[in-house]
Amino acid sequence: MSEGARLVVGPFNRVEGDLEVHLDLAGGRVARAQVNAPLYRGFERMLEGKDPRDALTITPRICGICSISQSMAAARALGAAMGLVPTPQGAGVAALIHAVENAADHLLHFNLFFMADFTRPCYAAQPWYGRVVERFTAAEGGAVRAAVEARARLMHILGLMAGKWPHTLALQPGGVTRTPGARDKLRIEASLRAFRRYLEEVMFGGPLEEFVALGNPDALARWERGDVGLFFRIAEDTGLAALGRGAGRYLSFGAYPLAEGAGHAFASGIWQAGQLAPLETGSISEDLSHAWMLGATAHPYAGVTRPDEAMREGAYSWCKAPRLSAQPVEVGALARQVIDGHPLARALVGPDGLGGGVLARVAGRLLELARTQIVMERLAADIDPTARFITQGRLPDEGQGAGLVEAARGALGHWLRIEGGKIASYQIIAPTTWNFSPRDGAGVPGPLEAALVGVPVAEGEATPVAVQHVVRSFDPCMVCTVH
Amino acid sequence: MKVLWLQAAGCGGCTMSLLCAENPNVFELLSGAGISFLWHPAISLESGAEVRALLEAVERGEVALDVLAIEGSIERGPRGTGRFQMLSGTGRSMLDWVVSLAPRAHHVVAVGTCATYGGITSAGGNPSDAVGVQYDGAHPGGALSAEFRSLSGLPVINVAGCPTHPGWVTETLMLLAAGALGAADLDALGRPLFYAQHLVHHGCPKNEFYEYKASAEALSELGCMMEHLGCVGTQAVGDCNIRPWNGEGSCTRGGYPCINCTAPEFEEPRHPFTETPKIAGIPVGLPSDMPKAWFMALASLSKAATPERIARNAVAPRVEVTPTIRKPKGRR
């Protein structure tokens, strides 16, 4: 490979939506990366001037994979503007509906999006190659087929409680639109039992409680059971722990709010330099210096979305660059588990203040999938079929509100301003907006751009496999990214 | 039959819904019917250079294109360039690729309301100048002209829905593979009749409330949502309440209105989605094929005759009054 060679990687599939990665190579490694989100649709502009309630119909359709997360964020933003919170039981069912989507996304990512790359011929000499081909060949592998079946069955909970998936209107500022009865509760619990059986028999190969009790990467590496065990073996042999390490700055808005004042099932906060700090959303801003967007760096309450139709030189993505106190942060399942204080997640990102790499991101997601099952079982057990599941409120003519939730891929925020009873401004920062942001005005690259530096590229590789592992380890959702 | 699936400007939700197919799962269902993917962005192994080579080979006519399936609307902006969506790695817009590949295809299938008519991507002021593959809203002529016909002689087959039910997509593909879907099997907007000949109203669990115009006043109440909550299930095509979604769901079963997501321009109803527009207190919009005078007469009569059970349950979140049990005659 010649020094100074460049590669354009795309179409980049098994990520949700459109992604193009530009790589400068030197010495058989990535020297510099630019990440381009090449699709702009303009949801924030569509919403301007509409009845605020219409956000509940329109924003879920930003994304077919994080649809319920978008619903949740919109419902919370409206609720904040209305001064309305869901009834406790409505909040519990909403959290369950949300957790089902997130669990389904984690399942899909591992089995359909991520593992397929190890079936590539470049790994044919590996002792595990036959096994991984049998389990993870696209559309045909045993694990792939088992995963879509388990996912479809799990989603019966959404058919029952949310009408359909994706794109439900069941999540409202005051709760949920369907009131479960005693038999619905039993059906939900039956679906969850079936899902646990799948997770324990196929994916994890053992009790979930045993997996979530693992405390460090050595114990993880010794977990040989299930498809998850196959992944840990592959990770060890291919050095995925050191590949694509992040900067160790994580953000979580907190997932699945518990009863009033009791926090979240997975805590909110900020993690940097090996320290936990409380969430401070006032210091969030979006920088437009390298985005085909016009306007100044602003907090989302003041932000605008004006596409630069000239697609000026120097900018290279429709994605804005969100920053927290002027710094990029990584979001996602690993971030949530680190911030929640899970010992395995903390150990995976290391005591050196550096961030986790491919292994840590994927293991963080698997850990969270196991823990989410336990959360869902508790939310289902807590359903009281005699309770009220929704309360009504009034929209103000003037007001504002933020809806901050955790999608499968990380922190999702909606910031809404209402004037004259209509939407005056609606700004959205999605998880992959954070993770796959372009550079900012100081030239600081986004988290993926930084994580790709140093990734090996073999002679003659047009679509480098290690780059694919790093990109997919973030579980990007590109349709959410620009929206 | 090999399907090349492209994701244009949409949310990917029609693919996500497709993966919810059951009995059997999507992969067994399609492979059993002799259908495989030439390439699918969410499913296939191939990425980057491998995909570019495939697309170029299809474009040159070296690889046969049995079905071109397009999910998402086609963006023409900014300023007619299509550059709001570049097909990554190719330096060309999705608009350019679709126009180039469609004439090579034996069938072109638009999956979802974005691809069929523009859909949600064209909502509001349509910031990206998005259209459907062969329609611009309800008007024929989108990214492809109204006159376009694929090699099979059919226009673009419009599997509309936001999202599409997995059955609508898999059965359309299976009918095509079996040579059993012709022009007479599509409605006037190009939608397969096997699901578009039904209304969402058919099989709706709120039918008894509808019969008496016993209306829900707020979301979650059991009554009919036509009068107050924006439900247009009596006008929307789809078998949503005949074959359920995700086990046993549908929008109206979930306690929220049908917003006619299988129709062109559903994204701009010109009133809030969950509120019925009214003139002098009377809802605008009649059930399909119902003469207005009849509807008004029947509505006022049935409203006056509403039994107590139905009136009370209509405004409750759960059944409060159960049906009267009549004892059988002639036995003791």
The DSSP annotation for A74-126 comes to HHHHHHHHHT----HHHHHHHHHHHHHHHHHHHHHIIIIIIGGGGGSGGGTTS
Chain A: nearest CA to B245, how far in angstroms? 6
Q: What is the mean pLDDT of chain A?
A: 97
- pLDDT tens-digit series, residues A107-159: 999 999 999 999 999 999 999 999 999 999 999 999 999 999 999 999 999 99
B318 → chain A, closest CA residue: A179
Examine the pLDDT at A292 and tell me if it is beyond 70: yes
SS3 content of chain B, % helix, strand, coil (to 5): 25, 15, 55
Chain B: nearest CA to A45, how far in angstroms? 7
**CA atoms in the 13 A half-sphere facing the CB of A303:** 25
**pLDDT computed for residue B210 by the predictor:** 97
Amino acid at B240: C
Average pLDDT value for residue range A461-465 = 95
Interface predicted TM-score (ipTM) over 0.90: yes
Query: Which of A48, A152, A463 is facing B47, going by the closest CB pair?
Result: A463
Examine the pLDDT at A1 and tell me if it is beyond 80: no
Average pLDDT value for residue range A351-368 = 92
Mapped onto helix, strand or coil, the DSSP state of residue B104 is helix
> In a mutagenesis test of the A interface, which of B29, B222, B246, B266 is the best target, namely the one with the most A β-carbons within 10 Å?
B246
Cβ of B244 and A159 within 8 Å? yes
Residue B148 phi/psi, 5° resolution? Answer: -55, 135
**pLDDT computed for residue A258 by the predictor:** 85
Cβ of A152 and B19 within 8 Å? yes
DSSP line for A19-43: -EEEEEEETTEEEEEEEE--B---H
- pLDDT tens-digit series, residues A363-378: 999 999 999 999 999 9
Examine the pLDDT at A53 and tell me if it is beyond 90: yes
Q: Give the separation between CA A162 and CA A278, rounded to whole angstroms.
A: 33
- pLDDT tens-digit series, residues B58-87: 999 999 999 999 999 999 999 999 999 999
Q: Give the separation between CA A255 and CA B108, rounded to whole angstroms.
A: 42
Scanning B246-305 for CB atoms below 8 A from A yields: 246-257, 259, 261, 267, 272-275
Query: Which of B13, B25, B123 is facing A145, going by the closest CB pair?
Result: B25
Low-confidence ranges of chain B (pLDDT < 70): 331-332
**pLDDT computed for residue A259 by the predictor:** 77
What's this model's pTM, rounded to 2 decimal places? 0.98
Query: Which of A57, A113, A164 is facing B259, going by the closest CB pair?
Result: A57
- pLDDT tens-digit series, residues A249-272: 999 999 999 877 789 999 999 999
Scanning A458-477 for CB atoms below 8 A from B yields: 462-463, 468
Scanning B36-55 for CB atoms below 8 A from A yields: 36-37, 39-52
Tell me whether residue A306 is exposed, middle or buried, using C-beta atoms within 10 angstroms of its C-beta: 0 to 12, 13 to 18, 19 or more: middle
Chain B: nearest CA to A306, how far in angstroms? 10
B48 → chain A, closest CA residue: A10
Cβ of B9 and A41 within 8 Å? yes
